[in-house]
Amino acid sequence: MQNNPTNLATFLYIDTAGEKAIVAISKDNVLLAIESNETTNSHASFVQVAIDKMLKQLGISLQAMDAIVVTMGPGSYTGLRVGLATAKGIAYAINKPLIGISTLVLLAIHAINHIGLVQTEKDIQIFSMIDAKRMEVFGAIYKADLSVILPEQAIVLDQGFLIKLLENGPTLCVGNGVTKTSQLYATSQLYCIEAQYDINDFMQLALEKWTNKHFENTAYSSPSYLKEFHQGPQKLLSS
């Protein structure tokens, strides 16, 4: 991607939504540093130490950041609280914008960028899903242009839900909830790939939001837990 005035920016990224946490810094859409932690219950102690380490290595200060980018969920309840609290604190302290990122949109972007089925299967639906224990997932369904078919919500998976979903066309399930999905219903129109988004997907979506000035309210933004929306299997929106 060629540089232009909209992508000349320095971002601090914080993602503690899942089992693996990352913090990273990019400048002008180029990744400068990244740190990760795979011990889920230690994300709180990891984040600030990792940020300080990267800033020291790069020889820059927090004030050099143009925006703070954070995953808003859905994901781990505790992890989301840790990440957003840290991001909001930094954004407020340095008076810079807060960019909130959906983990489900990140999964869909990863599928569009890296999974060939999205390009080869006509009218494929992308079912982003994050395991929420038992037969439940945090999920959303998108078209290949990222327009929403089913908005983010907690979904109880059953065979009836999947059969109804497939009436709208072939479906690619992506994320760590795919194992339980493939066990429920087998058909050539249902593809299950246990992929995870990466920092490049994070950077892409952050840049889009920065360019369009889609910022969070630093004082009042809250994580997308989704559990409060759990009403059992949901009715699909018409495509």
Burial of 168 (0-12, 13-18, 19+ CB in 10 A): middle
Annotated domain spans of the chain: 10-102+197-229, 104-193
Q: How far is CA 208 from CA 100, 103, 171, in A?
A: 12, 15, 26
pLDDT band at residue 81 under the 50/70/90 scheme: very high
Long-range contacts of 185-189 (CB under 8 A, 24+ apart): 185/159
- Distance separating alpha carbons of residues 228 and 232, to the nearest angstrom: 11
Convert the pLDDT of each residue in 126-162 to its tens digit.
999 999 988 899 999 999 999 999 999 999 999 999 9
The pLDDT of residue 1 is above 80: no
The CATH architecture annotation of domain 10-102+197-229 reads 2-Layer Sandwich (3.30)
- Distance separating alpha carbons of residues 93 and 233, to the nearest angstrom: 42
Q: How far is CA 216 from CA 13, 17, 39, 71, 209, in A?
A: 14, 17, 28, 11, 10
Q: Which amino acid is at 152?
A: E
Task: Identify the CA nearest to 197 among candidates 118, 136, 111.
Answer: 111
- Distance separating alpha carbons of residues 239 and 230, to the nearest angstrom: 22
Whether the domain at 10-102+197-229 and the domain at 104-193 fall into the same CATH topology: yes
Convert the pLDDT of each residue in 85-129 to its tens digit.
999 999 999 999 999 999 999 999 999 999 988 888 878 999 999
Cis-peptide, bond into residue 233, ω within 30° of zero: no
Convert the pLDDT of each residue in 10-29 to its tens digit.
999 999 999 899 999 999 99
**Total residues belonging to the chain:** 239
- Distance separating alpha carbons of residues 228 and 61, to the nearest angstrom: 39
The superfamily (CATH) of domain 104-193 is ATPase, nucleotide binding domain (3.30.420.40)
